[in-house]
Amino acid sequence: MTKVLIVLTASLFSLAITAQQPEDNFSKLDTNNDGLISIDEAKSDPTLAQVFTELDTDEDGYLSKDELAELGKKLN
Ligand SMILES: [Ca+2]
């Protein structure tokens, strides 16, 4: 959690955009449209890639829409 907060503070602007438009951003990030964001897909957003493992709460190696939505809750 501490790491997430540090990264969020450092990169609040780009993440704020992601958090405000989770549906749009999820679709953009999910390039193969399988409903999950892999680490490779997350790398298109360097900030998201940095917090990927923190957001992957079930540790399956993918971010679900719900897990990405947690990012918005942390910022709000
Ligand atoms: Ca995907």
The alpha carbon of 3 and the centre of ligand 1 are apart by a number of angstroms equal to: 25
pLDDT of residue 38: 97
- Our measurement of the distance from residue 45's CA atom to the centroid of its chain's CA atoms, rounded to an integer in Å, reads 8
Domain boundaries of the chain, sorted by first residue: 2-75
The alpha carbon of 63 and the centre of ligand 1 are apart by a number of angstroms equal to: 9
pTM for this prediction? 0.70
Provide the token pair at 34. Answer: 């399988």
The alpha carbon of 15 and the centre of ligand 1 are apart by a number of angstroms equal to: 19
CATH placement of domain 2-75: 1.10.238.10
Tens digits of pLDDT across the chain (76 residues): 566 665 555 555 566 656 666 677 888 899 999 999 999 999 998 888 999 999 999 999 999 999 988 877 776 6
pLDDT of residue 47: 85
pLDDT of residue 3: 65
The alpha carbon of 34 and the centre of ligand 1 are apart by a number of angstroms equal to: 5
The alpha carbon of 37 and the centre of ligand 1 are apart by a number of angstroms equal to: 4
Distance CA 57, CA 36 (A): 13
pLDDT of residue 20: 63
